[in-house]
Structure 1
Amino acid sequence: MGPVPKPLIAGNWKMNGMRGSLAQIKEIAASNMLASGKFDALICVPATLLHSAALVTSDTPLKIGAQDCHDRENGAYTGDISAGMIADSLGSHVIIGHSERRTRYREDDALVRSKTIAAHKSGLIAVVCIGETEEERSSGRTLDVLRYQLAGSLPDGATGENTVIAYEPVWAIGTGRTASIADIAEAHRFIRSELCKRFNSEGDRMRILYGGSVKASNADEILHVENVDGALVGGASLTARDFLSICSAY
């Protein structure tokens, strides 16, 4: 087994946040917890805030990312944003294949893989999301779903430097429901095994985040499960107080 990667606490603001929300970004960035170096912190903001958030955090440990990208460098794709545009706006990361994109916009593994390649080409770190639906879990297909999504969504060029995996059981996102500690441990152990089979030592270096109604009250227990290298946080990342409460688990 290779070196244990530094944990990452990532926030996904989704379609939330106005210019006034930069005050929350500044407060997170100024926290002594981030300065400790015990973990990395990332907030993925709407595209409208990307450059402004990157500017106000430029001399701080807080990283700023986007929530999606197109798989082409440019072209007639009205309303879309390319990986190069994210990098040009000083973003460092991009979330790809979030369950909301997979279900509502019918994005499949092949498109997620293509977007991940585009992110890597532009020097971005891809946070690639995978996870099963409630129907898939109830029918005992969770590990099969994770296997297929990992195989189809990750390009051969994925490394511990340019790729983070986020395991988000779809049925736990925004519902207040959280997978049991045993379920989380099983899924993350399986994901690690699959990554190491394909990427060898790089599989140990890829951080595997847990997402799905992570909040201050359950963060400490979840974040100390083996092979859980951090969290992808939704609603609880919108305020500095709540986000930093989760960070305090480290």
Structure 2
Amino acid sequence: MVMRRKIVAGNWKMNGSKDLSEKLVGYVRTEAGSLDNGVEVVIIPPAIYIRDVVGQAGGAVSVGVQNVGQWQSGAYTGEISSEMAKDSGCDYVLVGHSERRQIFGETDELVAEKVALVVASGLTAIVCVGETLEERESGSAESVVESQVRQGLSAVSGAWKNVVVAYEPVWAIGTGKTATAEDAQAMHASIRTVLKEMGAPAEEISLLYGGSVKADNAAALFAEPDIDGGLIGGASLVAEEFISICRYFPARS
């Protein structure tokens, strides 16, 4: 049986402070050392706090950035590149989060450009896909997600070890709603099938579920065979709950 990375990543979104970086990351670093289930703990703060989080993480917690530009350098005021993220101590980059798609108009084509640069930098891209409530209710959820996967990962060029896919149903982000464990598993299995059809080593690629994951639903989600971890939003800002979510991941043989 192929062993996939088990990952619980906390996306702080546009929240945080130096004080939070010190207190929360310090606590998470200490508690992560006692985890015995093989979970890799990742914290993804706003870019301005990356240095603070890296300093507090001490190597026990991985660090990511929430977004990068589709360029590596140049006259692009306000942007940061994947090479800059790497230079600052990041291991992961979120690409194509639903809020980037919905609010900032990012397309699958743009996601593909960013993914190519991220993997070329040696970082791991956490590529976000997911459907809206309207798309789910119309019965097109799987086809929408399939298209996002195929287009967003079209430029990976074999660097699959640097790819993680996060399924985040848009209707469940920040709403308190969540897909049932069975529904989430069905979509994860569908994504793995698409990856296999693309020629990727599908059984080796970690798939995360994101969408109002909390301590009270994490165990059921993480017990599913194709769910390899979680992309956590609001709950990642509460240290005790975030670590509780990490602990709920079962040991797998």
The TM-score, its normalising length taken from structure 2, stands at 0.94
Corresponding residue number in structure 2 for 1:217: 216
Gaps of 5+ in 1: none
Corresponding residue number in structure 2 for 1:96: 95
CA RMSD of aligned residues (A): 1.4
Corresponding residue number in structure 2 for 1:146: 145
2:176 is paired with a residue of what secondary structure? coil
**Residues 124-139 of structure 1 aligned to structure 2 (within 5 Å):** 124-139=123-138
Corresponding residue number in structure 1 for 2:104: 105
1:212 is paired with a residue of what secondary structure? coil
Q: Percent identity, please.
A: 38
Matching residue's letter, 2:210? G
Corresponding residue number in structure 2 for 1:169: 169
1:59 is paired with a residue of what secondary structure? coil
In 1: Cα distance, 2:236 partner to 2:158 partner: 27
Divergent runs of 4+, >6 A: none
**Residues 1-250 of structure 1 aligned to structure 2 (within 5 Å):** 3-22=2-21, 23-32=23-32, 35-36=35-36, 38-60=38-60, 62-154=61-153, 155-157=155-157, 159-200=159-200, 202-250=201-249
In 2: Cα distance, 1:109 partner to 1:5 partner: 26
Q: CA deviation at 1:128?
A: 0.2
Q: Call closer, same or farther: CA 1:222–1:18 in 2, change over 3 Å.
A: same
In 1: Cα distance, 2:113 partner to 2:84 partner: 16
2:63 is paired with a residue of what secondary structure? strand
1:156-177 CA deviation, whole Å, 9 max, x = no partner? 3254420100000000000000
In 1: Cα distance, 2:166 partner to 2:25 partner: 22
In 2: Cα distance, 1:158 partner to 1:148 partner: 19
Contact 1:34 1:40 in 2 (8 A): no
How many residue pairs match? The answer is 247
Q: Call closer, same or farther: CA 1:158–1:33 in 2, change over 3 Å.
A: farther
1:164-214 CA deviation, whole Å, 9 max, x = no partner? 0000000000000011222112101100111112134x2111100000000
In 1: Cα distance, 2:134 partner to 2:43 partner: 30
The TM-score, its normalising length taken from structure 1, stands at 0.95
In 2: Cα distance, 1:173 partner to 1:239 partner: 17
Q: CA deviation at 1:32?
A: 4.8
Gaps of 5+ in 2: none
1:40 is paired with a residue of what secondary structure? strand
Query: Which has the larger displacement, 108-117 or 73-82?
Result: 73-82
In 2: Cα distance, 1:164 partner to 1:34 partner: 25
Matching residue's letter, 1:175? T
Q: CA deviation at 1:6?
A: 2.7
Contact 1:159 1:205 in 2 (8 A): no
In 1: Cα distance, 2:111 partner to 2:222 partner: 26
Contact 2:64 2:93 in 1 (8 A): yes
Matching residue's letter, 1:59? G
1:161 is paired with a residue of what secondary structure? helix
In 2: Cα distance, 1:153 partner to 1:142 partner: 16
Contact 1:181 1:225 in 2 (8 A): yes
Q: CA deviation at 1:39?
A: 1.0
2:217 is paired with a residue of what secondary structure? helix
Q: CA deviation at 1:236?
A: 0.2
In 2: Cα distance, 1:225 partner to 1:147 partner: 20
1:113-158 CA deviation, whole Å, 9 max, x = no partner? 1001111121111000000001111110011001100110002325
2:116 is paired with a residue of what secondary structure? helix
Matching residue's letter, 1:110? E
Query: Which has the larger displacement, 20-29 or 229-238?
Result: 20-29
In 1: Cα distance, 2:209 partner to 2:157 partner: 23
